[in-house]
Amino acid sequence: MADKAYITSEILKWARESANISVIDAAKKVPVSPERYLSWENGDDFPTIRQAQILSKSFRRPFSLLFLPEIPKDFQPLQDYRRNDAQELDTASLFIIRDVQEKQNWISELFEEIGEDKLPFVGKYSINDNPEIVAKDILDTLKINPGNYQKAPINVWIEKAETAGIFITRASYLHSRLVLDRDLIQGFAIADSFAPFVFVNSKNWNAPQLFTLVHELAHIWIAKSGISNEVDFDFSDKPKSKFHPVEMFCNQVAANSLMPRELMIQLGADSFDSNDLILKQAKQFGISSFALLVRALNLNLISQPQYKILKQSAQDQFEKFLEKEKIKKEKQRAREGGPDTYLLRLNKNSKLFTRIVMDSFNNGSLSPTIASNLLNTQINKFQKFEKLLA
């Protein structure tokens, strides 16, 4: 008979519930009947060591944690700034938040311990300030000129943000069975003075990813850690009451950062004479045609009737674009076998975070086990990251 794992029943229940996994799904993972599984949570029986190991892995908790006498202090849940009718976060969303929180906690404690200076821009403003002023400070701090990108705009923003000390992580899934839903979570920010983190759901294409990224940077500038979805500044079709004031403010900051007033005025009304001109300019800014049209409307560069006509045309054009992108990705997948695993992992970890962990490991200040766990990669594969970072 297999040895029993004399775990703490309350902790097993807490681990399952904090992962938003039902009793039925938890039982399937072992597998046992739901009734048998509940006997473990009720303390009437115990799983085998193997079963407990499977459950700890499924709940993304250390195996040893299940044996603690009481529930440990967990990471504080992030403020949920999503619309008040948003669905409950699923397991994939909760796991990615916890993963980023673990990284952020480690690097923040490290920086504080070694005496790193606090970042002056974290919490520099509040939602009572002018969004244009906040946007200008973001652009000045990161040394970004939206009118003159030297490479893909989203890559510019990520590189500049990490150079300034902001860790940018992007992912669309944790593994094949835990895929992030962009309708549930588009991004979140952890506004820490030593190590601010921004997460962006890369399930979206680059334009909405960039808007989400800058939206989350605004969260850092006003020191409001939290979760976002439906990041958009066109509120015409949705009741404003459903949007949190912080989200509305951060959207305004993002719009002013990506499409500064002076640049938009330089474009002039002629730039909106055709969909081709609109699409061309939107690509240069790294944003969607919809975002550009809303910004033009808000700055009175186009009229409301023009906006409605152009928005419908942009919608038709966008649907064609999505179809082309789908075919393009399918061909690319067939030709290349999908994106590089280590590039995806590098983006998920943050390039800046990966470099710091690897440097700490290489100079002997970080054990192999901790370094491997932080980067979710075996030590003998670190050279893959070295090549990508180079």
144-190 per-position pLDDT tens digit = 999 899 999 999 999 999 999 999 999 998 877 789 988 899 999 99
Q: Domains along the chain?
A: 9-67 (1.10.260.40), 341-389 (no CATH)
Residue-level pLDDT at 236: 46
Residue with tokens 């015409």: 236
Span of 130-134, 224-228, 341-345, 353-357 with lowest mean pLDDT = 341-345
> What residue ranges in 210-333 does DSSP mark as E strands?
226-228
pLDDT tens-digit map of 7-50: 999 999 999 999 999 999 999 999 999 999 999 999 999 999 99
> What residue ranges in 176-272 does DSSP mark as E strands?
178-179, 187-190, 197-201, 226-228
3-state secondary structure of 80: strand
Arithmetic mean of pLDDT over the chain: 90
Residue-level pLDDT at 332: 64
Residue-level pLDDT at 334: 61
Residue 233: CB atoms within 10 A of its CB come to 21
Residue-level pLDDT at 237: 46
**338 — pLDDT class (breaks 50, 70, 90):** low
pLDDT tens-digit map of 207-239: 999 999 999 999 999 999 999 887 755 444 444
In this prediction the pTM is 0.88
Average pLDDT over residues 45-62: 94
Nearest to 343, CA basis, from 314, 377, 370 = 377
Residue-level pLDDT at 235: 41
Handedness of CA 134, 136, 142, 145 (dihedral sign): positive
Tokens coding 59 = 């709940």
pLDDT tens-digit map of 88-105: 999 999 999 999 999 999
CA distance 80 to 229: 9
